[in-house]
Amino acid sequence: METSATPTHCPYCALQCGMNLTPAPDGTVEVTERADFPVNRGALCGKGRTAPAVLASSVRLTSPLVREGGVLVPATWDEALDRIAEGLSSIRSAHGPDALGVFGGGGLTNEKAYTLGKFARVVLGTSQIDYNGRFCMSSAAAAGIKAFGLDRGLPFPLEDIPKTGCVILVGSNLAETMPPALRYLTELKDNGGTLIVIDPRRTRTAEQADLHLAPRPGTDLALALGLLHLVVAEGRADEEYIRERTTGWEDARAAAMAHWPEYVERITGVSVPQLREALRLFCEPEAAMVLTARGPEQQSKGTDTVGAWINLCLATGRAGRPLSGYGCLTGQGNGQGGREHGQKADQLPGYRKLNDPAARRHVAEVWGVDPDSLPGPGRSAYELLDALGTDIKSLLLMGSNPVVSAPRAAHVEERIKSLDFLAVCDVVLSETAALADVVLPVTQWAEETGTTTNLEGRVLLRRQAITPPEGVRSDLEVMHELAARLGVEKGFPTDPEEVFEELRRASAGGPADYSGITYRRLAEENGVFWPCPTPSEEAAGAVGAGTEEAALDVPHNPPHDDGTPSVHPGTPRLFLDRFATDDGRARFVPVLHRAVAEEPDAEYPVLLTTGRVVAQYQSGAQTRRVDELNAAAPGPFVELHPRLAERLGAAEGDPVAVVSRRGRAVAPARITTSIRPDTVFMPFHWPGEGRANTLTNPALDPTSRMPEFKACAVRVEAVEAVEA
């Protein structure tokens, strides 16, 4: 047996930590340190160390399943694929192509995400495609595009964080969500920098902070505006930077001046002295950063909230300068690449807009179709799920588990059950897959080669390390076979490198230009940052505005001796010369505070916020199958303050019910002073009666269409009192 180690990357979060995989004689796979990868430098969290456990045949799917007499039973691949093709074809004939829904995942490789978008639009002809990455960083993406003209999670590499003077971390608990990244904050402090953490809970990350601000959930927008007010009032605005590199300051300043510190204190619960201290720590060093995550983003005003933090960076000259800037900590493993190349309802490969005629012509030419045949933008993720069983009659789902992960999850579960036809491709029999008419077992990270794009915009090659079990096929094979059965014989290769070569052409000239990236380069380098155009005249100059290479029509490196052009090096740091706007200037966007969509009242007097724990990941479909992780985090809980617990008569470990307008969840009480008395917290990794997303509010941000996971009104009850 081949026992050499394969360098690859973790399948979980957007760090995409490097690791080595070595098959063992007993059929297991050993994870060892890969110190050469600069993001994690060998460090791995428990999820990464135990990731091979899900490769075992005993915990994953190894045969297609079809529903017979209400029960899923094993079937051959031909039977399963034929049934999917027949189901999709008959529904399309009866109701039209938009009766076919497609829902993808932020864990799919770039090749699979690209192919899924192409499959939906070329084979099915449907506009109804989106993915669970909409629930990740869509608000930050929308705000980044408004302000900078381009969205990439971090416009600088992680290695810059310890070298800056101050970091404001808003709504992120890196110690539990991305543990290997916590070292960057530790190194920041070791270097004399300061850390400000903004979170309604005193998390393990907040405990590392020089200053912890604990605002009421859903008030991050007011907090940012209050800090911007103080920038003006204390004369801390960088007027020269504002004059030379931005537009729109007057309107943004006027909006901020309506949020004086005492007013912000009443809204947020953060005291005026704390506000002033936060601003002092942020403004005194030469360089500083603001990093946001799901806390401010998963709100019905998430785009405005992130925009307010960007305004703070712009007003103080902390964007587009070395070791300064705004960045978003992407959550899912390929949340960045997954939306760049076609899974999102309104986007084509290369981060092009589906309603842009030039973008449609370019991609249609690569695909060999008429631009007019491509459907227009479809529904966002929650809106798509909400429409299931009405005008959307069928759903093809890859790499997602919305029965656990979607807001208002009980309603989404009912919508899924109302479908005429559901087909799921997954590694395990998730709660959503268990409802399907057909389930296809597909390969996972260690069993296939493909690329992902991490939170820095670093494109990586995840290599195949082992042979998949017999009976398992790749998602690319699935789409190839279904396309052929639905009348499209060409254009859906099964070789991931061949798909990537087409993706390069489709992305060329777009904002997320991968055309200068090849598998050979990725195999030789520790990732390549996009935009990375080819140095040819056709691709150069069309992308990368505001990168270190302001004039991309000139190759970065001189030609080789034989006259052939050198490769573009990629772009680790964006916006140093100019922003990706028409005039090269960043845009202030004026915003005003507004309340959460559902404020507490007499019936529902407490706010619920949700999040993750270190030992589980997303909907838990994979991590809940790993014994070591379950031992560390066996089930859901409700975190509540001692004063609230006393009013309920609840002791540590007692079951309590959390009730919202959408449903009821029951889990053991975890009593702690690390949370505000007016707030409760639940992790969202579990199904059943402790499913946190039974409670959450699907109120959508008007721009990003992000649901308001982070704040909804609830009441908390002692279970005994309810049952009595």
The amino acid at 405: S
Report d(CA 685, CA 225) in Å as an integer: 33
- Dihedral-angle region of residue 90 (phi above 0 means left; psi in -120 to 50 means alpha; beta otherwise): alpha
> For residue 420, what pLDDT band results from cuts at 50, 70 and 90?
very high
pLDDT at residue 535 in the model: 77
Q: Could you tell me the residue ranges of all domains in the chain?
A: 6-55, 65-134+377-488, 138-328, 516-585, 606-723
Average pLDDT for residues 382-402, to the nearest whole number? 97
Q: Which fold has domain 138-328?
A: Dimethylsulfoxide Reductase; domain 2 (3.40.228)
* 3-state SS, one letter per residue, for 603-636: CCCEEEEEECCCCCCCCCCCHHHCHHHHHHCCCC
**Dihedral in degrees, nearest 10, Cα atoms 150, 153, 155, 159:** -170
Whole-number mean pLDDT of the chain? 94
Give the pLDDT of residue 722: 44
Burial classification of residue 243, based on how many CB atoms lie within 10 Å of its CB (0-12 exposed, 13-18 middle, 19 or more buried):
exposed
pLDDT of 538 strictly over 50: no
Sign of the C-alpha dihedral, residues 98, 120, 356, 400?
positive
- Three-class SS string for 213-275? ECCCCCCHHHHHHHHHHHHHHCCCCCHHHHHHHEECHHHHHHHHHCCCHHHHHHHHCCCHHHH
Is it true that 138-328 and 606-723 share their CATH fold? Answer: no
What tokens appear for 625 in the block? 């199958």
C-alpha closest to that of 544 among 110, 149, 145, 144? 149
Tokens 């009730």: give the residue. Answer: 659
What pLDDT does residue 295 have? Answer: 94
3 state SS of 540: coil
Residue 570 is predicted with a pLDDT of 96
Q: How many helices (H) and strands (E) does the chain have?
A: 24, 30
Q: Tell me the per-residue pLDDT of 126-177, one tens digit each, with 9 for 90 and over.
A: 999 999 999 988 999 999 999 999 999 999 999 999 999 999 999 999 999 9
pLDDT of residue 19: 97
pTM of the model: 0.94
* DSSP letter, residue 574: B
Across 402-554, the runs of DSSP E, i.e. the strands, are 421-426, 438-441, 450-453, 458-462, 528-529
With tokens 């028409």, the residue in question is 582
Kind of pairing between the strands at 289-292 and 325-328 = parallel
**Residue 19, helix vs strand vs coil:** strand
Calculate what percentage of the chain has a pLDDT beyond 90. 92
Over residues 95-105, mean pLDDT: 98
The domain over range 606-723 is classified in CATH as 2.40.40.20: yes
Q: In angstroms, what is the C-alpha Rg of the chain?
A: 25
Closest CA to 321 of 276, 294, 285: 285
Q: In what side-by-side order are the strands of the sheet with 211-213?
A: 211-213, 194-198, 166-170, 289-292, 325-328
pLDDT of residue 554: 29
Helix (H, G, I), strand (E, B) or coil at 683: strand
Pick from 141, 146, 142, 116: nearest CA to 130:
116
Domain 6-55 has CATH 2.20.25.90: yes
Encoded tokens for 171: 């709504």
> Percent of the chain having pLDDT more than 70?
95
CA distance 616 to 631: 11
CATH class for the region spanning 65-134+377-488? alpha beta
Cα–chain-centroid distance for residue 381?
13
